[in-house]
Structure 1
Amino acid sequence: MSAAEPVDTAVPAAAPRPPSGPRMTEQVLRVIVPIAMLVALVALWHWYVVAYNVPHYILPAPERVAQAMIEDWPTLSGALFVTLKITFAALAIALVGGVLIAVLLAQSKWIEIALYPYMVILQVTPIVAIAPLILIYAPTTQSALLICAWIVAFFPVLSNTTQGLKSTDHNLLNLFELYGASRWQTLFLLKLPAALPYFLVGLRIAGGLALIAAVVAEFAAGSAGAGSGLAFRILESQYRLNIPRLFAALILLCATGVAIFFATSLVSHLLLRKWHESAIRREN
């Protein structure tokens, strides 16, 4: 190369990013495929009832369930509100109590040794077995239902948050000690952010368990009247052979559980999407 020839110093152009078309197609399919599956199952259900002339008090047709949902909506919506109130109250108490106790367990080895075994015992004991005792000693039926739902939802939050606090990188802990950080600074600036993914997993589990526990507690309590939840409406429909309304109540419960799961998953995604490996999409 002669001295007169110019030297090409331009930076090579970056490789083109892969098209977003396949990614968008995958996201669309994730929505369309479950919906198509649901439509197919409902169609199969309708065909079976019509083809074999199944009585509605054995297996109602989908249109009968939809009709019961519309006609009995005032009753079902009121019962759903009662169940949701117990569910979310129990979940809120479980989140606050689980995180606070997890912090205590992580900060003091002796507190963990003293309390953790009894919390495990409380968790593994079937809620149906202790619900009658709670109903006896609780001041009101609603408070008894709340306690039952809280017991079931509490342990996933406690267990996952405690594990997350204990899983903090030891190299980072040594770095904080090197710079003279206090225990509270280490807790709030290092341990709690590191435990956030574990806590969010516990949140997703506890959300579904709180709803399940609220329904089981309502079954055990057998509460009736205007303040009863969906569990009593299911029992009432069974006793009266009002099977379409029973199916409508079950569908409401399933839809509520799915909504809680997606809501807690959305919260997890929003909190982790910019920094945690579990939520960041791979580029290759």
Structure 2
Amino acid sequence: MNITVIFNPTAGGGRARRLRHFVRALEQGGARVRLYHTRAPGDATRYLNALAHQGECVVAAGGDGTTNDVINGVKPGVALALFPIGTANVLARELNLPRKPEEAARVVLEGRTLNITPALLNGRRFLVMAGVGYDAWVVDQVDLIAKRRIGKLAYAVSMLRQVFRYGEVRFRVTVDGRPLDCFSAVISNGRYYGGSFILSRQANLSRRSVQVLLFQRPGRLFLLRCLAALLLGRMERVDGVASLSAERVTVTAPGLEPVQTDGDPAGFLPAEIELEAEPVAVRVPWA
């Protein structure tokens, strides 16, 4: 098997030693490995697009941002695999992927294939989620130096700072043709958020749809109730949170408002989100 491994050396503070064990396990399993270290955001996409032959599988070695960069360069017919070593690994948690190098390599070589349909935000793929409002402000304003030093705690600091902005902007979200107003929204492919917290029990990576969570009430107390509910896995039970399944979503707002996908900034509104025509084959453990 020919495998291309894309490694983000800044993901989670860098995990070079674990990467070496992972590559060695792949090679001991009979794989021929091409290894590439990314240098900047978007580098993985550019590198993969320039390859004439990517191999049978491309491995994203990093976090959700690295996976997002990789999935936008993976060509049709090439499988995607993950070696989760980043700050946040929401997709890896969703797929129950192991973190140990030898076990992760075994999934790449011997695991089964799960077809996942990526969503497109203004034409760019994402596999985990997109967000506007509070969710996007947190990602947009996170301190990148602090992220490298303290990991997820950098997001927690940004979350606290952005609480005071919630409710200032009203968004128009059109869900499969139905216009709705809200003060924040998360469009999710899977159940988890921020690593281990359940955002939506209705979302399903295997289903050809996204789950749209609309936060329809203003006020900091309402937002704090939502955050508390997230810790308990009860977000969809909060009065004022609407959860809708959709195939096409558009989002608009007055002014210049950021969007995030898979934990990284992804430009500004307006946003058009739709499902890609064909699924991507992702390597996962045997049940």
Higher Rg of the two aligned structures: 1
More helix as a share of residues: 1
TM-score range, shorter-chain basis? under 0.3
- Scaled by the length of structure 2, the TM-score of the pair is 0.22
TM-score for both structures, normalised by structure 1: 0.22
More strand by share: 2
